[in-house]
């Protein structure tokens, strides 16, 4: 193939990939589609993409035609441990497309006899970025290919820049959707406060006033019951409005938790260490988990005293919510016993955090959340 044909092929490759990237809205689907297309048009065999979250965490988010040695145990060799390309990415040495002398993961696979490597020993690697913002790595390999020409690396670099721009676009769109959801939730909370809340309050006052106008004991009894139901419904509505629109969160997670504890008539003791400001998503996650934990204390603990410890250190935020109530029998190897607790674990997992529940009869309950700071 002469130079003119190579240029035309490269331009067609960039055009095809650009079209796919412009159509994409789902990050993981976009990455696997582009990876397949890139391998197809370049006649290479294997590829994989890492997104690097921080200095300790990365994710294999897309791969195609990996050798069997790297797919054992649900692709465990690709999801654990470090390698030379990630090390270079993290310490800033990897700034453009480069040949990697050989692949440490393949070397480990050969040494551990994990299976067939399809004669892949080397790969090219290129950072995914948009401006100064770096997201991860694109790696490409083929059997018996130990070196990538400058033209090949230039093409990979151009594709990686397009992918980086698309990743940023999708992330911005996701953030915009989150903000729209928060705005809608706030609107709904305001509507509930202005309409249903006021109706319940009026019903409670009407029942109280009507009771004073009658001497019939049975009627009084029914009106008292209506008054009690209205008061309970009003209290539930107040809690629901708080869950939809956490008033006070604009002043930080500490203020929000204290205020919510007051709504539930709980005596909340807070110990805060090193927490100044948190990312919006992390703060809301901790807030939602804290809400659920405080609700559980109110309903099940048999005590009004709750201790919350919030700590930020060594790139980790931790929140511990503990009561000295009646507790319950819990085996950490068993399924979590309630939907609320399961939701707390799922919220923590979405931020790559760790959820731990400790409880026993007579010794209270402790919920501990740790979340890495990206």
* Pair (236, 163) in one structural domain: no
* Pair (253, 232) in one structural domain: no
Question: How does residue 83 score in pLDDT terms, banded at 50, 70 and 90?
Answer: confident
The predicted pLDDT at position 315 comes to 83
Mean pLDDT along residues 300-309: 90
Cβ–Cβ contacts within 10 Å for residue 125, how many? 26
The predicted pLDDT at position 185 comes to 66
* Pair (285, 209) in one structural domain: no
Distance CA 155, CA 324 (A): 62
Cβ–Cβ contacts within 10 Å for residue 8, how many? 11
Residue 185 lies in a domain: no
* Pair (19, 148) in one structural domain: yes
Residue 189 lies in a domain: no
CA 248 vs CA 26, 99, 146, 242, 255: distances in Å: 33, 52, 59, 10, 6
* Pair (125, 39) in one structural domain: yes
Q: Which residue blocks in the chain are alpha helix, DSSP H?
A: 3-23, 27-42, 72-79, 84-90, 104-112, 150-194, 196-211, 217-244, 253-263, 280-296, 339-350
Distance CA 77, CA 357 (A): 30
Residue 266 lies in a domain: yes
| Residue 319: domain span | 248-374
Cβ–Cβ contacts within 10 Å for residue 81, how many? 11
Considering only CA atoms, give the Rg of the chain.
Answer: 28
Among the candidates 147, 176, 205, a domain finishes at 176
State yes or no: pLDDT of 34 exceeds 60: yes
Residue 190 lies in a domain: no
* Pair (199, 230) in one structural domain: yes
* Pair (158, 208) in one structural domain: no
Question: How does residue 203 score in pLDDT terms, banded at 50, 70 and 90?
Answer: confident
14: domain CATH number is 3.30.450.40
Residue in this structure with the two tokens 């990415």, named with its chain if needed: 89
* Pair (56, 167) in one structural domain: yes
Per the structure, how many domains does the chain have?
Answer: 3
Contact 269, 305 (CB under 8 A): yes
Residue 188 lies in a domain: no
Rounded to 5°, the CA angle 184-186-189 comes to 110
Whole-model pTM? 0.54
* Pair (372, 281) in one structural domain: yes
Contact 300, 325 (CB under 8 A): yes
Distance CA 367, CA 360 (A): 12
Contact 47, 118 (CB under 8 A): no
If 0-12 CB within 10 Å is exposed, 13-18 middle and 19+ buried, where does residue 139 land?
Answer: buried
Question: How does residue 322 score in pLDDT terms, banded at 50, 70 and 90?
Answer: very high
The predicted pLDDT at position 12 comes to 67
* Pair (131, 224) in one structural domain: no
* Pair (199, 136) in one structural domain: no
State yes or no: pLDDT of 205 exceeds 90: no
Distance of CA 345 to the CA centre of its chain: 11
Least confident of 4-8, 22-26, 56-60: 4-8
Residue 80 lies in a domain: yes
- CA end-to-end span of the chain, whole Å? 46
The predicted pLDDT at position 363 comes to 86
Residue 127 lies in a domain: yes
Among the candidates 148, 176, 204, a domain finishes at 176
Tokens representing 13?
Answer: 């490759």
Tokens representing 205?
Answer: 């006052």
Distance of CA 33 to the CA centre of its chain: 23
Kindly report, residue by residue over 148-191, the tens digit of the pLDDT: 888 888 888 888 888 888 888 888 877 777 666 666 666 776 66
Contact 348, 369 (CB under 8 A): yes
Kindly report, residue by residue over 279-291, the tens digit of the pLDDT: 777 888 888 899 8
The predicted pLDDT at position 26 comes to 75
* Pair (255, 350) in one structural domain: yes
């Amino acid at each position: 193939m002469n130079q003119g044909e190579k240029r035309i092929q490269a331009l067609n490759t960039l055009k095809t990939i650009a079209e796919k990237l412009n159509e994409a809205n789902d990050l993981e689907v976009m990455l696997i589609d582009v990876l397949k297309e890139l391998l197809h048009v370049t006649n290479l065999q294997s590829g994989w993409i890492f997104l690097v979250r921080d200095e300790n965490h990365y994710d294999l988010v897309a791969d195609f035609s990996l050798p069997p040695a790297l797919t054992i145990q649900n692709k465990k060799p690709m999801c654990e441990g470090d390698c030379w390309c990630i090390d270079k990415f993290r310490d800033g040495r990897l700034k453009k497309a480069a040949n990697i002398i050989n692949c440490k993961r393949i070397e480990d696979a050969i040494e551990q006899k994990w299976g067939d490597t399809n004669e892949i020993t080397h790969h090219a690697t290129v950072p995914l970025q948009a401006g100064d913002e770096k997201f991860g790595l694109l790696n490409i390999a083929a059997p018996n290919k130990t070196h990538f020409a400058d033209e090949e690396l230039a093409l990979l670099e151009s594709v990686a820049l397009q992918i980086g721009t698309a990743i940023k676009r999708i992330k911005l769109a996701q953030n915009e959707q989150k903000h729209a959801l928060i705005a809608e939730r706030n609107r709904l909370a305001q509507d509930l406060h202005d309409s249903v809340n006021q109706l319940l309050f009026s019903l409670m006052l009407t029942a109280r006033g009507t009771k004073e106008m009658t001497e019939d004991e049975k009627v009084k009894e029914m009106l008292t019951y209506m008054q009690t139901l209205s008061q309970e419904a009003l209290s539930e509505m107040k809690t629901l409005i708080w869950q939809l629109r956490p008033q006070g969160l604009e002043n930080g997670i500490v203020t929000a938790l204290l205020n919510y504890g007051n709504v539930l008539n709980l005596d909340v003791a807070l110990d805060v260490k090193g927490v100044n400001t948190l990312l919006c998503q992390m703060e809301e996650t901790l807030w939602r988990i804290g809400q659920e934990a405080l609700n559980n204390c109110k309903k099940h603990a048999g005590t009004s005293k709750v201790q919350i410890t919030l700590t930020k250190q060594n790139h980790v935020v931790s929140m511990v919510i503990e009561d000295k109530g009646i507790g319950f029998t819990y085996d950490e190897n068993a399924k979590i016993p309630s939907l609320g607790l399961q939701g707390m674990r799922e919220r923590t997992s979405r931020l790559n955090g760790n959820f731990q529940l400790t409880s026993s009869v007579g010794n209270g309950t402790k919920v501990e959340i740790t979340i890495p700071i990206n």
